[in-house]
Amino acid sequence: MRESLGQAVSGGDSTVALGGMPGIPSRARREYTLMVVPAIVITILVGLFPVLYALWVSFHRYEVLSPEHVFTGWDNYRNVLTDPVFWQSVARTALYVAIVVPCETIVGLMLAVLVERRAWTRKAFFPVLLLPVLIMPVVVGFLWRQLWEPRFGAVNEVLGILLRTRVDIPWLTNPTAAFVALVVTEIWQWTPFMFVVLLAAITAVPEEMREAAQVDGAGGWAEFWHIVLRIITPVMVLAISIRTLDAANFFATVYTITGGGPGTSTYSLVYYIWNLAHFGADGTASAAAFLFLLMLVIPASTVLAQIVRQQSVHR
Amino acid sequence: MVEALVILLLIVAAAITLFPIVWMVGTAFKPAGQYFTDPPTWFPLPPTFSHFLSIPSFLVGYRSLLNSFVTSGVATVISVAVGTMAGYGLARLREDGDRLAIWFLSQRMLPVIVLVIPLLLLIHSIHLVDTWTGLIIPYVGLNVPYATWMMRGFYNDVPIELEESAMLDGCSRLSALWKVVVPMVVPGILSTAVFVYIFCWSDFLIALFLTVRNAVTAGVELTAFSGGTSVFYGELSAFSLVSALPILAVGLLAQRYLVRGLTLGAVKG
């Protein structure tokens, strides 16, 4: 039935693929491809071409104001790779990601498990716990900037109330404290992402599986969740991959809360690159950006593979 | 007993989530002397609207909202339009469109900082820095791949038989798409539009690089309230409140599709 439909509709020659299912008639194929062309053109112009241009820029001494573009070979790359601040930024970004992603995952999972239990908790707590993810990162940064203010800032004040003593942690002027401040801010903003995704995953676990787990004498709560956890693992891995990639790009919090300071002690990789570009060293900034890109290729491909695998499961 | 503990934990989580937001709202209405006091001033007494009124004296004031609104809006319309058509083509091409689709998806993984430096140089050379168009171009370029990928996912859920019977009745492929298929993916189009809009409105890096004064967006405007040593917390909070509301409203409206958009279509939620 389907094959005859295909032939009647296409009007052109139809190709029959192996297995008996009709392939896409060539006229239809042309029309479909045509529809994709604008998207391809735009993506090449704004997505691919600038990247290639940046590669070219990274091999020159390039300043926006000066018309001179001197070819400098590997100089820019050498400058970046021998800059201790660059490596500190790399290490700091790696440490940052290594801390925030597990924290967000564990807390997010906990919240999802707790909220999922009853319909009323879902209705009541979901919109509230979701909020931080919907606030612009810049706003979140400035929001927390005010809280981290050392002198009578809300964090020190609340800590003081809880610990019944005067608390005067120099959040913005001490490198370690500043790092902690950034980490906490990030966790506050992005745990809801994990929460929302994991909640959806847990909710999607078919009722029969849950009942079966309990009937099979899966002794108690722990056994039951052991099974649910196994089922949601693919989604959890996906969410962790996406979050890792996004966290590695952290910039807004650094810009708004610490300005990279004190000194350069809270530079993230993106902030480091921004700083180079901000002071006109576009060639060096592009070189650093490409090194950054190189470092992210593996995590990015992992995310890509995860998403594709998840999508094909649903096909 | 366990019930009570669970509720308690959730309330604590809700409190931690809401506290900074509530504090910001409070500061927006606090007279300047009450920002940082010991003990802290929990409620602004008396509340003042002066911060909202003094916003125009910082950079471009409320005009930044207009800039954000226009650039995000136009970019969203264009991206979703292109993506809706391209996504359909890719979905119907089935396996032949897979590699192309993955290429589109991979664009989303590209760190923005790599793009933004050459974009500044390129847009500078066509004299579009600090203009609406100068922002719309990158926004469209970055969101077309995402919109295409998302729409492809939605079209995959629509069986091809629908268009085929429409075409048997005499429609051309394009009008079959328009009359029969598109109505079925309207929720998908809307949710994709919401995410593209949120992405554009929340952008900071691109706007930071590509605007100076005239086309400054809400995000960049926010940086005007903090200068070196002094931060105008009242005005900052007031403007934060105003600029955060649009996405909050839009995001809450699209709750149902939140998970799908956040996970790039991998989780249907």
CB pairs under 8 A between A and B: 298
Report CA dihedral (A75, A81, A85, A87) to the nearest 10 degrees. 170
Please give the share of chain A, as a percent, with pLDDT higher than 90: 38
End-to-end CA distance of chain B: 31
In the predicted model, is pLDDT for residue A162 greater than 90? no
Q: Does the CB of B222 have a partner CB in chain A at under 8 Å? A: yes
Instruction: Please tell me the least confidently modeled range out of A119-123, B14-18, B131-135.
Output: A119-123
pLDDT of B210: 92
Interface of A with B in 117-176 (CB under 8 A): 117, 121, 125-139, 142-147, 149, 151-154, 157-158
* Chain A closest-CA separation from residue B90 CA (Å): 7
C-beta atoms surrounding A99 within 10 Å? 16
Contacts of A117 (CB under 8 A, 6+ apart): B6
DSSP string covering A202-232: HHHS-HHHHHHHHHTT--HHHHHHHHHHHHH
Question: Residue with structure tokens 């847990």?
Answer: A202
Residue A146 has pLDDT above 60, yes or no: yes
Interface of B with A in 71-110 (CB under 8 A): 82-83, 85-86, 88-90, 92-94, 96-97, 100, 102-107, 109-110
A161 or B208: which carries more pLDDT confidence? B208
Mean model confidence pLDDT for chain B? 87
| Mutation target among B38, B82, B103, B117 for the A interface, most CBs of A within 10 A | B117
Which of B14, B86, B88 lies nearest to residue A128, judging by beta carbons? B14
Closest by alpha carbon to A25, among A37, A38, A7?
A7
Structure tokens at A315: 């096909």
Interface of A with B in 17-56 (CB under 8 A): 24, 28-29, 31-36, 38-40, 42-43, 45-47, 50-51, 53-54
- Between CA B142 and CA B108 the distance in angstroms is 7
Cα distance from A47 to chain B (closest Cα, Å)?
6
Q: pTM of the full predicted structure?
A: 0.86
Task: Determine what percent of chain B is predicted with pLDDT higher than 90.
Answer: 35
Residue from B34, B37, B99, B109 to probe the interface with A (highest A Cβ count within 10 Å):
B109
Residues in A closer than 8 angstroms to B124, CB to CB, are: 64
CATH match for A80-314 among 3.30.1490.100, 3.40.190.10, 1.10.3720.10, 1.20.1260.10 = 1.10.3720.10
**CA nearest to B98 within chain A:** A308
Between B43-57, B80-94, B122-136, B193-207, the lowest mean confidence (pLDDT) is in B43-57
Find the CB nearest B141 among A42, A130, A300: A42
**What is residue A2's predicted lDDT score, i.e. its pLDDT?**
38
Q: Sorting pLDDT into bands at 50, 70 and 90, what band is A183?
A: very high
CA nearest neighbour of A22 among A43, A8, A39: A8
Mark which residues 85-124 of A lie under 8 Å from B by CB. 110-111, 114-115, 117, 121
- B32 or A291, greater pLDDT: A291
Nearest to A238 by CA among A206, A198, A191, A199: A198
As for the ipTM of the complex, it is 0.88
Could you read off the pLDDT of A253-292 as tens digits, one per residue?
999 999 887 888 899 999 999 999 888 888 889 999 999 9
Weakest mean pLDDT among B85-89, B220-224, B261-265: B261-265
- Banded pLDDT at A306 (limits 50, 70, 90): confident
Query: Which residue of B83, B111, B173 is in closest CB contact with A296?
Result: B111
Q: Where are the domains of chain A?
A: 1-10+19-50, 80-314
Beta bridge partners, A61, equal A70
Q: Do A42 and B82 touch (CB under 8 A)?
A: yes
Query: Could you give all domains of chain B from N- to C-terminal order, each with its CATH number?
Result: 2-48 (no CATH), 59-226+236-262 (1.10.3720.10)
For residue B139, list chain A residues with Cβ-Cβ distance below 8 A.
none
Residue A215 is predicted with a pLDDT of 62
To probe the interface with A, which of B115, B263, B268 has the most A CB atoms within 10 Å?
B263
Does B18 or A218 have the greater pLDDT score?
B18
DSSP code, position A64: S
Q: How many residues does chain B have?
A: 269
User: A252 to chain B: which residues are within 8 Å by CB?
Assistant: 204
Residue-level pLDDT at A5: 39
Smallest CA–CA distance from A312 into chain B, residue:
B266
- Say if CB B195 and CB B108 are below 8 A apart: no
Chain A residues with CB inside 8 Å of B85's CB? 35-36, 38-39
Residue A97 C-alpha from the chain's centroid: 10
Q: How far is CA A32 from CA A14, A24, A28, in A?
A: 15, 10, 6
3-state secondary structure chain B: CHHHHHHHHHHHHHHHHHHHHHHHHHHHCCCHHHCCCCCCCCCCCCCCCHHHHHHHHCCCCCHHHHHHHHHHHHHHHHHHHHHHHHHHHHHHHCHHHHHHHHHHHHHHHCCHHHHHHHHHHHHHHCCCCCCHHHHHHHHHHHHHHHHHHHHHHHHHCCCCHHHHHHHHCCCCHHHHHHHHHHHHCHHHHHHHHHHHHHHHHHCCHHHHHHCCCCCCCHHHHHHHHEECCEECHHHHHHHHHHHHHHHHHHHHHCHHHHHHHHCCCCCCC
Q: What's residue B201's pLDDT?
A: 92
- Of the residues A5, A29, A42, the best mutation for testing chain B's interface (the one with the most B CB atoms within 10 Å of its CB) is A42
Min Cα–Cα distance to chain A from B80, Å: 10
Task: Give the least confident one: A17-31, A85-99, A244-258, B219-233.
Answer: A17-31
Q: Do B17 and A128 touch (CB under 8 A)?
A: yes
Q: Taking residues A73-101, what's their average pLDDT?
A: 92
Other Cβ atoms less than 10 A from the Cβ of B99: the count is: 8
Question: For residues B37 and A206, what is the distance between their CA atoms, to the nearest angstrom?
Answer: 53
Which one of B40-54, B163-177, B196-210 scores highest in mean pLDDT? B196-210
Q: What pLDDT digit, counting tens, does each position of A204-254 carry?
A: 887 777 676 666 655 556 666 778 888 888 888 888 988 999 999 999 999
Q: Determine the residue of chain A that is closest to B169 in CA distance.
A: A9
- Sort residue A15 into left (φ over 0), alpha (ψ -120 to 50) or beta: beta
Contacts of B142 in chain A (CB under 8 A): 46-47
Of A40, A200, A249, the CB nearest to B269: A200
pLDDT in tens, B119-140: 998 898 898 889 999 999 999 9
Tens-digit pLDDT profile for residues B209-247: 999 888 899 999 999 888 767 788 888 999 999 988 888
Residue A188 in 3-state DSSP?
helix
User: A152 and B37: CB-CB below 8 Å?
Assistant: yes
- pLDDT score recorded for residue A213: 63
Q: Which of A215-219, B48-52, B76-80, B229-233 has the highest mean pLDDT?
A: B76-80
Local confidence band at A27 (pLDDT 50, 70, 90 cut-offs):
confident
DSSP A277: H
User: Between chains, do B104 and A42 touch, taking CB under 8 Å as contact?
Assistant: no
* Interatomic CA distance for residues B61 and B67, integer angstroms: 11
